[in-house]
Each structure stands twice: as C-alpha cells, then as structure tokens.
Structure 1
C-alpha cells in the first residue's frame, strides 16, 4: 500500500473525467482541499495530519485514520494531476501527562509512581528497550505503519516542543490568551473554569505536567507565573522550549496553526472539540484544516473501543487471522457508519476484498474509482486469481479436521486441477489464516444438534441423491440436487419467498439445518460449492455419520 511514484499514477483523460465525477468518499474529501485553495496558489506542500495518543497500546482505530487519510491524499493527487507536493504527518501527543494506568500493560505499580509526568518521561513498562513509555508505544505504531508501507512522516510532540518548532505560535497564544479563554471557558464546568489555563507548565522539580491557574503572564519575557498547590512556591516558566505544553484542545489548534495543517479527520466523539479547536486556530490567525468526523468502532457488545481498556480487536490480532488488505477494506467501507469490530467480521472482510478485486478489471473507470480496491492500492490493484473463497476454506477445515495446509491442498488440488501452492500463493496464504481462525474461533463454538424426524427423512434423501451423483459433479449440479431434495420435503417447501441461501422456492432453513447438523455451525457459504470442494463422497459420509448419531467433530 505504498504511495506510487508520479510515473505510476494513471492520469489518462478517462481517469481524470471519472475522478471529477466520482462520489467515492475519498474524492469528496479531496475536493474540500482543492476548494480550500480555489483562486489562490497551493502551498509548497499540502499537509495531511493524523493524531495519536500513546497512553495505551497502538489502536486499530489509529491505523484506520492513517489508512483513510492516505486514501484522501491519493484522491487529491489525482484531482490535482499530481502537481502539488503532499505529506502525511503522523503526530504523537507524547508530551501529555500520564493520567491513569492503562488496564492492558505490565508493571502497573511502577507506572503509578509516574502519574502526571509526560509520557516521554515515564519509564517503559514493557522492557528496557525504549527510553520511555511514550517511545515504546510510538515504536509499536511506527513498526506497524511501516509494515503496511504507508508513506508518512512521524512527529513527536515532545521533540517539536523541545526543538522550538512551536515557539512562535505559543508566544502568539500567550499574547491572545484572553481570546482563547473566551472560546474555552463556555465549554467548561463552572468549577474547572475558575482554575483553567490553556498553558500547562512542566514542574521543574517533579517533572509533572501541572494543571494550575496562572498568577501572571509576562508577554515581554514570554513566561507564565504559577504557584505549586502543595508547597505554595511560585515558579516562572517560559512557554517556549518545551518547558510548558498546552491543554489538548488548545494544543490541537496550536499545532494546526503552527504547521499549517490542511486536512485532518477525527472521530465522531470529537465533533465539539474540533469546533473549539477551529475557533482557537482562527483566533491565532490561521485557517483550520478541512476534514470530517468518522464513526467510532464498537466491540461485540456495542461499546466504544478504548486503548486503555483493550476491548475490541488489536492490529496484531486481526493480522493473525487475515491479510492486511481485508483490514484496509474494513476501514474504507462506510466510514461515517458505526461498525462492530470483532473477530466475526474478519471472514466476510476477506471474501469481500477478493470479490472487489475480481470485479475491478471488468469495470469502466467510473465504477473502478468507486471500487474500494482502487483506493486501497493507490490506483493499481493487483491481479489475483482466488479459486476458493475464504469462507469455503473455513468450512473445509471444519469438515476435514485439517491440522495443516497439506490436508487442505489435497482437497483443493482435487477440486481444481493444476491449482497448487506454487501457482496460487495468495490462496496458500489464506489456508494458513483459515487454520488459525478455525482453531481459535470456529472450533470452540461448534455446537452440533441431532436431526428431528423430518430432518432425518431429508438427510436420508440427500444421502441417496449424493450417491447417484458423479464424483466429479460441479458445484452447480450439486446445488441443484440439494434443491430438488429440499423441494420434495413438505417442511422445506416455500413458494412465497426467495431465500438468499436456498434459492427460489426453497426455504433457507433447509440449508441452515445442514450446517447445524453436519458442521455444528449456524451458517456457511453456498452448500453446493462446499460439497464440490470437500467431495461428493466425503459429504455423503458426513451425512450418513449424522444419521448414525456420530457427527463430524
């Protein structure tokens, strides 16, 4: 997913015309930036920013933000015919004070002794490999982004503050302190408003980020005067040079102003914060960036995913069971709709990715630019032949009790002669994912049930029908044979509706019964396709075992 070179961008007249009309959300977002500079020259570099709070382990939502921002950046490059330099800055708020100990990290007692200090002054709880907690989590995020090949520049809040890159804007905020307070105070509770200051000095003795009211502002000296609430001692601290940081909303606005950020998206929970930061950025004399608010990811219980709680899926967990492209597709689809992010969504995301990929070559440019894979692969999707969907692989593992990929390839090669691990490396990669996913999530949840009298009659008829089928019967012939059996059983006759799984005139409950009784699952892919892959004889043996009361395990 690396950003292509200028030569790699396919900017034919057909592509440009389709891009100008495309309603895909990355193009809609990119047009905001084009309009931002309507009637005036673009800056030397159009800056896209993403933010990261390293108080918890790297979060899959953070990846999603970089992933989606990269798609907007690519769409912008196409709309501007790649004549404008662009950059993604992945900014870590690692100078924030550690407010609480995350639930999902070791050495919690040690961390408690450093509460309040900037994350880059808190020791690494995982090992001695990194100089700080912030540095450790930053490294984890960067390693993952690098693994995906994102084209980005990483930025540390601590380093930017200490190097003086924010000094000029910090002095402007000190000068326009009253205007900033006028924006912030109405958003605060009365008690907090009485002691609020956008400036947070770093205590020169304890190293703690202090949330204290100001005694005095010295504009000529560029300092603030504040009192230690415990000792009563007065301190005078420069707002520059990393001696002081800002509350997070003013900090966000200050960063937009200082770096002249053009685009940044954020979660729906930050809508009010975006509005406040935009007002502060304007008060500092700069234009707030363009952007949009995406919906939040939810865990399987419908709760917001949290870095500190560690609920929901982590980046590494998803990638243990599916290729990276499936995660990118999940991020692309409906960014403004709340989506549950847990293990059950993985198989569908995998198969949808390859489905979009197979459709792409047959599409015209209008539809190609609406196809997720065009955005995921920066306009150059790979050509991949996948003769067996991931969902079918999972059911093959379930039926065969395969322990390794060799067993799976025995079935695959028989079903599709000439298809091998060498000729189809992508399919080989998926067999490994299927084995892991089945072992960890499908197998523990398998719950076989015995067929009732009517179902036994249906299964016996199905076994007899399978006995009459040739061993090399294709998926369509097998599916039609199953439908004929289902239509002959009164319970499964259904002439009033069409079932997406059963086909015209046959209730989907027949196919649900097959999966419950034969595989111990509630659902699965098209049963004819599964039987063709597993084998007619093997599937009949499975049916007979269920009739004998010994289902596959």
Structure 2
C-alpha cells in the first residue's frame, strides 16, 4: 500500500506477515497456550524461532489438532450442509459431554455426530461414579486418570455430590411416549417406579433425551458382546411369555426370579443379561416394571437379534 512508519497492532490497521504474526501476538498478549491445525506446522516452527531469538519470549505450549469430520469422514462445510454446531449439540446434552469428546483424545481427526451424545453422556456419569467412589477402581493410576478427566470436563469445578443417573436410551424411550402436558410429572413418576431417586439433574437429562428422541428417533443399543447359555435363553423365553400374561410390573419382577431359580441361574446374572439385551449395559431400571411397560415384544426382538447375529 506504500505506507511507511509505525502502525498500532491493537487498532487492527494492517496485518503482519505470517512469519512473525503469531510470535508478535504471543508476546503482546502473553499467550501461554496455542493450538494449531496440522496445515500450520511450518508457520508455527518459524514463529517459535522468531519468538525466542528476536522477541526474547518463550513461545506458548502447543497442541496440534485436526479437523472435525462427519460420519462419512468428510470435513464439516456449510456449503455441503453437513454442519453440526456446538449449539446443536447443547440442545441435547450439557457442556461436559462435549468437553469429554475433546479431552478423551488429543490427536487425530474427530468424528462428531449426534449418535455420540447418548454414549458420551452415560460415560460422563460413569466418571462421576468413579469420582465419588460409587464404582471402585483398584488400580490407583487408572483411578487417578479417570478422576482427573472428570474434573477437567467440569473445568476443575466438579459437582459437590453425585447426582441420580439413568441410561440415556431409557430416558429417550420414556420421553418418546411422554405426554407434552404434565411432562415432568410423567417422567418423575415413571422413574420412581423404576427404582430411581429423582433429582433435578435427572429430570433435565430426561427432557433433553426426549428432545433427542423426537429429532433423531430411537437410540440404538450400545454394541456389546452378549453370550447366553441355553438355560439363560430358555429362562428369557419363559419370561417373555409371562410378561404377556402379567397383571403388573411386580408380577414380572417375581417371574424373573422364579425362572432364574428354576434353572439354577443366579438371579443377578440373569438380570444383567436382560439389561444387556435391552439397554446395552449390565444394569438399569427396576426390571419388572420396565418390562411390563415396554412389553414382551421388545424383549423377544432383542433376543432374536443376537440369535441371528
């Protein structure tokens, strides 16, 4: 432009060449941490040198990152129309779930899809269980790592006490059949019937899970390997038949114990297998009332799905 003289960086009049821009900004603003994309590796190396040798300022700590990509491993692009923004994510889950996505792995491209939300929210709650000692981790190093991760997803200000937890899939199922009017009352009563101590956190999770179900449909069961003994399969088949004849959830609850003991199966073991079939995890709501609500067909379909896989 032909200008000669001094220009105030803070006024934004002009732009420094790329070989010194980072370094100048680091010293001016006392930057201690600077993440960068892998396409800027050469620029960062040059600016590190300028910062040390010319400006006498130790360059900030660096972390290299890659792009966020969709399920098809394409970069997000407004023109393509495959954008999934943080604001969209936060419609269905709290900020700590998004931070968990970021902190679990610091290298490589990250796939970001709505399908991650249920798993990450449940995983954040598993970290909370470890943090407050609800789940015991024998290995001290592993326990310390998980506790640290929990603290960081809450920006070093974690909750003072553990909250009530329930699987996202269960809450989404409940939300999909909940009436719009008296929504909270419906959710609270059903959660209590399933054996949960209901607090504000759990109700908020249920409400967000309902929004998720309305926008994305059924939450798929987590992919877990399920192996059934012949006796377990027979017991589950008998339970399916009894669910259809039961008068209420308590009758179903009693039937599960009866069918387990009739075949010499430890009841908690059978409960765990049914939870895995329905929710993809070894624990969940009080099973009798839950099975009574969802019906025998759901358990029958889940059993058939592993028979054919």
Q: Same fold (TM over 0.5)?
A: yes
State the secondary structure of the residue aligned to 2:15.
strand
CA contact (8 A) 1:351 1:391 kept: no
The answer on 1:442 being equivalent to 2:217 is: yes
Aligned to 2:112: 341
CA contact (8 A) 1:239 1:245 kept: no
Aligned to 2:284: 529
Counterpart selection for 1:265 from 35, 43, 56 = 35
What do residues 60-97 of structure 1 show as CA deviations (whole Å, max 9, x unaligned)?
A: xxxxxxxxxxxxxxxxxxxxxxxxxxxxxxxxxxxxxx
Aligned to 2:168: 390
CA contact (8 A) 1:295 1:335 kept: no
Aligned to 2:225: none
Aligned to 1:538: 293
Structure 1 runs, 4 residues or longer, greater than 4 Å off = 306-310, 363-366, 457-462, 467-470, 473-482, 541-546
The answer on 1:240 being equivalent to 2:33 is: no
State the secondary structure of the residue aligned to 2:3.
strand
What do residues 144-179 of structure 1 show as CA deviations (whole Å, max 9, x unaligned)?
A: xxxxxxxxxxxxxxxxxxxxxxxxxxxxxxxxxxxx
State the secondary structure of the residue aligned to 1:292.
strand
Relative distance call for 1:262 and 1:471 in structure 2 (3 A) is closer
After TM superposition, the structure 1 = structure 2 runs for residues 459-498 of structure 1, keeping only pairs within 5 Å, are 461-466=238-243, 467=245, 471-472=249-250, 478=256
Distance 1:533 1:352 in 2: 25
Aligned to 1:64: none
Max radius of gyration: which structure?
A: 1
Q: Identify, as 1 or 2, the structure richer in strand.
A: 1
Distance 2:171 2:50 in 1: 54
Structure 2 alignment gaps of length 5 or more: 221-233, 266-270, 302-309
Aligned to 2:152: 375
Distance 1:293 1:326 in 2: 22
Counterpart selection for 2:205 from 430, 435, 441 = 430
Distance 2:257 2:72 in 1: 36
The answer on 1:357 being equivalent to 2:134 is: no
Q: Shift in Å at residue 531 of structure 1?
A: 7.2
Distance 2:42 2:253 in 1: 54
The answer on 1:285 being equivalent to 2:27 is: no
RMSD: 4.2
Aligned to 1:406: 185
Relative distance call for 1:356 and 1:536 in structure 2 (3 A) is same
Counterpart selection for 1:416 from 189, 195, 201 = 195
Distance 2:257 2:5 in 1: 76
Counterpart selection for 2:24 from 254, 258, 280 = 254
CA contact (8 A) 2:130 2:146 kept: no
Distance 1:476 1:341 in 2: 43
Aligned to 1:73: none
Distance 1:544 1:260 in 2: 60
CA contact (8 A) 2:150 2:158 kept: yes
Relative distance call for 1:438 and 1:543 in structure 2 (3 A) is closer
Relative distance call for 1:406 and 1:311 in structure 2 (3 A) is same
Aligned to 1:521: none
Distance 2:255 2:67 in 1: 44
Q: Shift in Å at residue 258 of structure 1?
A: 3.3
